[in-house]
Every structure is written in C-alpha cells, then in structure tokens.
Amino acid sequence: MIILSFLLNFISWNVDSDIFVLPIINHPIRWYGLFWLLGILLCYRFLDSILKKESKPIEFLDQLTIYIVVGTMLGARLGHVLFYDPSYYLNNPLKIFAVWEGGLASHGGGIGILVAIYLFARKNKLPFLWVADRIALVVPIAGASIRLGNLMNSEMIGKQTDMPWAFVFTRVDQIPRHPAQLYEAIFCIFLFVLLYYCWKKPVFRNQIGNCFALLLILLFSFRFMDEFLKINQEHFEDGMLINMGQILSIPFILIGLILFVINYWKSKTMGK
C-alpha cells in the first residue's frame, strides 16, 4: 500500500497514536511514549560504552541519567507553558501538571538539559563542558526518537507540497504535506554519526566543548530551516516573519558559534 501510494506521488499516513489499551484501567499505551522510552534506553546504552572507556562507574551514569531525564521533562513542559501559551496556564495553573494532554517544547527541554548538566557538574566537581560534550553525543539519538514519536502522532506536520515523498496525514486532513518530523529525525541520525566520527578524532575530542558547540550549531540551524516547512504550532505565530521555534533556536546557534570561535582562538594561541 505504501509503495502504491508513493507511485501516486504521496504517502498516506493513518497510524493510530495508540498501540493498545491496557485492560481494566483502560489506559492507552502510545507510540510517542514508547519512542521516548526507546530514546532514553539507547542514550543510556551508548553513554555507558563511552563512560566505561573513561573508567566511570555505573553509579555515575545512573545519576547523570536521572539529572538529564528530569531536566528534560521539566524544561520541555515549562518551555511549552512559558513560550507558547503563558496566559492560558496563568489562568489554569493546575493544567501545568496535565502533561498527558500534550505540550512539550524541545527548546525548553534543551534549557532543562543545560541546567541539569550544570547541577550535575557542580555536584561532581567536573567542568560543565566536559559533561556537555558527552551529553551532546546522545542528544541526536533522543531527538530522532522524539520526532519519530511526533510522526506516529501525526503532529508537527509540514506545509502543503507536491513533492513525491509528501505525506497525507489522513487523521488531520487530505492535503499532501512535508513530513517535517521525519526530516528532523533523519537529520538527527546523520548528526549522531557525524558527532561520533568527530569524537573519535583526538584533535577534536581533546579540546573541551567542541562536541557541544557543533551540536548546538548544526542541530538548531537545521531546526531553524525546518520550521519554514512546518505549519505554525500556535495561532499567535501566524503573520510572524519567523515563528517561536526559530526565535528560540537563535540563542543556541549563537552560543555554539561563540564557543567554537573561543576554542579555535585557544588552539591557535597554544599552537604558537
């Protein structure tokens, strides 16, 4: 069916966001939650292999995982509340805790991760950028998993297009659209491969902050561009030259560029 749809210049996407419903309690198990869990497990396994080579105990990784997961969830939720609909949540404060109704902002999650790294690094007396470099390696894995979850939910859909790989999200409408979530998931996989390749080069890895800077520049630059292919997530973004996702991406890109320039300047100075 998918092959036939492709030949007809579109892919019909009609995936149910629920995998199945648990009996008795009548609670659905959703693809989005499954991909979140898969992302966490894959990140954990990969970080485990990295930290073992650096003789870090499993307790170190377990503690770091707790910090990052909590920071991501809190940041993503509060980011949605503050960046996208503050007036609604100001009038309905209890709804802030209703995460089952949806509403997670990836930029808020990014800020939450930075705070978590800072707290973890301070507690363990480690340089912030040392921890950030290692987390940077697995962020694309989590990013790809989350965007695949968005795809299964038929959310964060793209604008109308006549490209042959267009998706028709039939649970939304019958319009062929860019699969913007899939674009970002594929890019995250590419970014993971690139970061790991760079990490294996001692010249790159030995300068603290390089991996983190490269992640910020590439991930949020792609996010900025991908937003042009998406429909706006909130009504207040209609009519804006660039949307909230793009506005929030700019500081991350600038931080990455500044860090890269500083590292480059340091390397040139040390080489003299």
Q: Per residue in 65-100, pLDDT tens?
A: 999 999 999 999 998 888 887 888 888 888 887 776
Task: Using a pLDDT cut of 90, give the percent of the chain over it.
Answer: 65
Pairing of strands 167-169, 11-13: parallel
Residue 24, sorted as left (phi over 0), alpha (psi -120 to 50) or beta, turns out to be left
pTM of the predicted protein model: 0.88
* The pLDDT of residue 4: 43
* The pLDDT of residue 270: 62
Mean of the per-residue pLDDT values of the chain: 89
Please tell me which residue, 164 or 5, carries the higher pLDDT value: 164
pLDDT classification of 178: cutoffs 50, 70, 90: very high
Looking at the predicted structure, is the pLDDT value of residue 101 above 70? no
pLDDT classification of 15: cutoffs 50, 70, 90: very high
* The pLDDT of residue 43: 96
Please tell me which residue, 127 or 265, carries the higher pLDDT value: 127
Boundaries of every domain in the chain: 2-231+240-267
Give the other-Cβ count within 10 Å of 97's Cβ: 9
Query: How far is it, in rounded angstroms, from Cα 120 to Cα 79?
Result: 21
